[in-house]
Amino acid sequence: MPVVMPASDPPSPPQNGRAHSASSTWDPAAFEAPDYYDLDALLPAEATAIRDEVRTFVTEEVVSVVEGHAQKATFPDHLIPAFADLGLLGPTLPAQYGGGGHSNLVYGLMMQEVERGDSALRSFCSVTGSLVMYPIWQYGTEAQKERWLPQLAQGEAVGCFGLTEPEVGSNPAQMQTRARRDGDDWVLSGHKRWSTNATIADVAVIWAKDEDDVVRGFLVETDRDGVSTPPIDDTWSLRAAVTSEVVLDDVRVPDAHRLPGVEGLKGPLSCLTQARYGICWGTVGAAMACYDAARQHARNRSQFGKPIGGFQLVQERLVEMVQAITKAQLLNWRLGTLKDEDAMRPQQVSLAKRNNCEMALEVARSARQVLGGNGVTSQYPVMRHMANLESVVTYEGTHEIHTLVVGEDVTGENAFT
C-alpha cells in the first residue's frame, strides 16, 4: 500500500523519522484529566498547584520527545535538570538535604503526572528518590547524607539500586552477592541485574550478604575498580529508560560506605515500599494517558456515518476505563492519606500496586482497541504505555508476589513456599 502523507503535521511528532499514514486524532495539549468523583476537592490547594505545574511540564516538554526516545531506546537525560527544578527527585525528603519537604500526597501526584508522560521517566524519579535517596537518608551517616543527597536532588549525580540478580528475583533472601570484611574495608563480589539507571549512575546502593549471611547496604561509586554496568539493550519495554547489569568484581569500599542504620532484608524491602507507593500513583497516570487518547479518538473518528463514540460497545470500553481509573484514584488518595498519617502498612501498598498495575494494563489494552489499527502506531502513546506497563507490573514485586503478601495478611498463612 502506498504511504499517504498527512494533510497537516500531527500534533505530536513521534520524532522517529517515519512518515505517518493518517492524521492523528490525538492532541496531547487537549488532555482532560478524568476526575469523575471530584477528588480534587479532597486535595489541598498546594498539592493541586504542584500537580498542575508537573502536568503542564509533561504536556509541553515530555510528550513531544518521549516517543522518539522510546523508538530509539535512548534516555532523555536533558530532562534531568527540569526534574530537579520541579522537585521530582526526593520530593518528601527534608529541604536541609535538597528535598522538597512535601507530603506523600504531593509525591504521589507528581509520580502520576510523570508517568502520564512515560513509565521510564517515573522509574528514573522513583529510583532516585525512593531507592537511592531514601536509604541514604533513613539509614546513612551524616557524612553520607551530605555527600550524596543534595547532588542527587539537583540531578547532578545519578543513583541506582542493586537488589535483583540473574538467578534471584522474587526471593531476595537467596541473594548471592557477598560482602567480605577486610580490615577497614569491605570487598564486594557478585552480579546484579535489572538495575535501572546503572549505566549512567554515579553511585549504586548495593545489597549484599556478609560472612554471617546478614544483608547489608553499601554505597558504591560506579567508577571504583572492579565495577562495570553494561546496559541491557534488548527490551521492548521502558525503552526510554536505562536498564543495566551491575557486575562487582572484588570491589573494595571503606566501611564508611556501609549504610549503618539497617541490617537484614528490611533494608531493601523498606525502600521498595516507598517506590511501590509511587508506582501506585504512576500507573494511574499511564492509564489516564491511554484513556484520554481513546476518548479523543472516539469523538474524532467516524465510521458508519457517525463518531465511533456514539456506538454502545465503544462507550462501554470508555466507561469501564473511567470506572477503573476512578476506583484507583480513590485507592491512591486513601493510601496517601494513611501514609501522611504514618499509618500505612506495606500490605496496603501491595494491594494498591497489584490493583493499579493490572488496572492500567487493562485500560491500555482496551484503549488500543478503541484506536483500531492506528493504535499500534507511534502516533498514539498507548502501545508505548502498554509495553512499559509490562515491566511495571513485574518490577518491585510481581502481581503474584503482591497476591501472596495480601493473601498472607488476610489468612495468616504463608503461601510463598
Pick 47 or 351: Cβ nearer ligand FAD: 351
Cell of 388: 512499559
Question: For ligand FAD, which residue has the nearest CB?
Answer: 169
Q: Are 150 and 133 in contact (CB under 8 A)?
A: no
Expressed in angstroms, the distance from the first to the final Cα of the chain is 55
Q: Which is nearer to ligand FAD, 39 or 269 (CB)?
A: 269
Q: In the complex, which residues of this chain contact ligand FAD (CB under 6 A)?
A: 127, 161-164, 169-170, 194-196, 238, 243, 391, 394-396, 398, 400-401, 404, 416
46 among known catalytic residues: no
Residue number with CB closer to ligand FAD (47 or 127): 127
Q: Which is nearer to ligand FAD, 238 or 321 (CB)?
A: 238
Kindly state the cell numbers that stand for 365. Answer: 489494552
Looking at residue 41, the DSSP 8-state letter turns out to be G
| Cα-trace Rg, the chain | 22
- Residues 6 or more apart whose CB falls under 8 angstroms from that of 15 comprise 64, 65, 67, 68, 71
Smallest distance, ligand FAD to C-beta of residue 416, A? 5
Instruction: Supply the minimum distance, in Å, between the C-beta of residue 172 and ligand FAD.
Output: 8
Assess contact for 26 and 296: CB atoms under 8 A.
yes
Point out the catalytic residue in the list 156, 167, 396, 408: 396
**Residue 166, C-beta contacts closer than 8 angstroms, at least 6 positions apart:** 191, 193
Work out how close the CB of 233 gets to ligand FAD at its nearest, in angstroms, rounded to a whole number. Answer: 12
Q: Least distance from C-beta 66 to ligand FAD, angstroms?
A: 16
Burial of residue 196 (CB within 10 Å: 0-12, 13-18, 19+) is buried
Q: At 15, list the grid cell.
A: 520524532
In terms of CB distance, is 286 or 314 closer to ligand FAD?
Answer: 286
* Identity at 356, one-letter amino acid code: N
CA–CA gap between residue 172 and residue 178 (Å, rounded) = 13
Closer residue to ligand FAD in complex, CB, 91/162? 162
Beta pairing class for 203-209 and 159-162: parallel
Cα dihedral sign, 17-21-22-24 = negative
Rounded to the nearest whole angstrom, what is the least distance from the CB of residue 232 to ligand FAD in the complex?
8
Q: What is the nearest approach in angstroms of ligand FAD to the Cβ of residue 358? A: 13
Hey, which residues are catalytic here?
396
